[in-house]
Structures are given as C-alpha cells and as structure tokens.
Structure 1
Amino acid sequence: MGLSKYSFSKKEKLTGKKKIEGLFKKGSSFYLGDFQVRHLPSGDAGPHQILISVPKRTFKRAVDRNLLKRRIREAYRLNKQLIQIEGENSLFIAFIYLSKEILTFDNIQAQLIKCLERLGTINADRHE
C-alpha cells in the first residue's frame, strides 16, 4: 500500500471538480445513521479518496463544521483498513453528515465504522 496504516495523506483527499461531479452524478449512495455515503469506483489502484461534507445550512458557524469534519476525518483515519483490499481498484467516497446536532467523537466513530464495513462488503462484491 505504501502509506502508513493510520496516516491520512494528501493522496487520500478527493479533489478536482470533475472527480467530485462524477461521484455525485454517477455514484451510488446509501444512508446509515447520521451519514449519507456516496461511492464510485475510481478506476485506478491508488488509495481510496474521500470527501467530507458538513452542510452550512445545518451548522452556520464554521467552527462547528470544522470540528465535525475533524472528528469524521479522524474516525476514518483510524478505521479505513475496514475497506482496504490488497491490489484492488479504489473508490471515491463522500461522507455527508446529516445530524442536526454535534455528536461526540465516539458516536461518530461507531457510525462511521458501520459505514466503512458496508462499503467494504460493496467493494468486495465488486471484485468477485
């Protein structure tokens, strides 16, 4: 894999207008807990690339949005191995936070683990 198991490098961030538009136009999605998860096979063998969105409409203050994004990013960083399959094509993934309140890190992590497990089964099914 080349990256440390618990790192979150620049390569893992989903950037680029075309990639993001493609994810939202062609990607599949599911809802689990307080998250909507959109995913799309990226077609290359690099690390999974993620995007984290916390709506401005729900959380007016940037401090609150940034806090939630940090918590989600950290929960992803610690548990991303749940969707890693050696030598597989990676996914573009968007985590969209839907809750109306600021959840604790433990709560966010528990929900994100369920999302990652579901993504892992989707990704494994794609390879069979």
Structure 2
Amino acid sequence: MSNGPFTLSAAERLKSKKDIDTLFRQGEAFFVYPFKVFYTFKPTQHPALQMGVSAPKKLFRQSVQRNYLKRLVREAYRLQKPALQQIQQSEGLQLQLMLVYATTGKFTYDKVYHSIGNILDKLIKKAHPGDVGDAKKEA
C-alpha cells in the first residue's frame, strides 16, 4: 500500500516520549496564533516528517473538546502538508513538529486551517531559505 500525498500514517505521527522530550528540550519554537510550534530539522539520508498535536487539559477540561481540536488540526495539516513534504524531501531533512494549542479561545476549522497554512509556510521558509513562493493551497 503506497502512501498518497494527503495521508497521515502512523509512521508520520510523533508518539515516542523520548522524541517528544528531545523536541521540547532541544528544538526551536515560534508562535502562530493559536499554536505554539516546536520543531527540529536534521539532515539525514532518509527524510522523514513526523507531527504531533497537544491540547492541554488545563485549557480544555473535557476530553471531547481536546480530541475534537486534535482531530481538526490533524485534518488541516494532512491536507496542506504536501508542499512542506516536497521541500523537506528535496533538502534531505528529517522534520519533527509538535503543535501545542495555546489559547482558550473558540476554534473553528477555518481558523485552524488558516493557522496551519501559516505554520507550514514559516517552516518551508526555515527549511529552504532560498526564494520560495507561497506554498498555501486554495481552500
């Protein structure tokens, strides 16, 4: 079974506690409302892209809200990741990415989709410092 460009397989999810701890300790971070983004780029022979999502219990007491938010984020990321994946593979980089929802404000799919697009654009610029056009896809 081949992975298409719009899939999010188990191998692409950041699940290892060791990897997540390393990412928080040694990775770089930036903020794009409403997410705090932690990431690391590493040159490698086998480019890989891993992503994780966190919705803090302190901000969303009900698990239903946390799980719904994480589902929205994964869906928005899955639909927009091919542009990032193309740059990451051409540069031969391993990218680990953690998105932490950092505000208590209301969230809609449109807001989440737009924010994920901005995050991926920023990551593309950091991965490929050359002149890269706008990588966002039209919704």
Percentage of pairs with the same residue:
30
SS in structure 2 at match of 1:48: strand
TM-score normalised over the length of structure 1: 0.90
Q: Say which is worse superposed, 78-87 or 108-117, in terms of deviation.
A: 78-87
Match of 1:73 in 2: 74
Q: State how far apart, in whole Å, the 2-side matches of 1:74 and 1:42 are.
A: 25
Q: Say which is worse superposed, 68-77 or 83-92, in terms of deviation.
A: 83-92
- Residues 1-128 of structure 1 mapped to structure 2, 5 A cutoff: 3-44=3-44, 45-84=46-85, 85=87, 86-87=89-90, 88-125=92-129
Query: How big is the shift at 1:98?
Result: 1.3
TM-score normalised over the length of structure 2: 0.83
Q: Say which is worse superposed, 61-70 or 95-104, in terms of deviation.
A: 95-104
Q: State how far apart, in whole Å, the 1-side matches of 2:106 and 2:43 are.
A: 35
Are the counterparts in 2 of residues 64 and 102 from structure 1 also a CA contact under 8 Å? Answer: no
SS in structure 1 at match of 2:129: helix
Q: Which residue identity is paired with 1:110?
A: H
- For structure 1, the 5+ residue unaligned runs are none
Q: State how far apart, in whole Å, the 2-side matches of 1:97 and 1:82 are.
A: 23
Q: State how far apart, in whole Å, the 2-side matches of 1:52 and 1:46 are.
A: 21
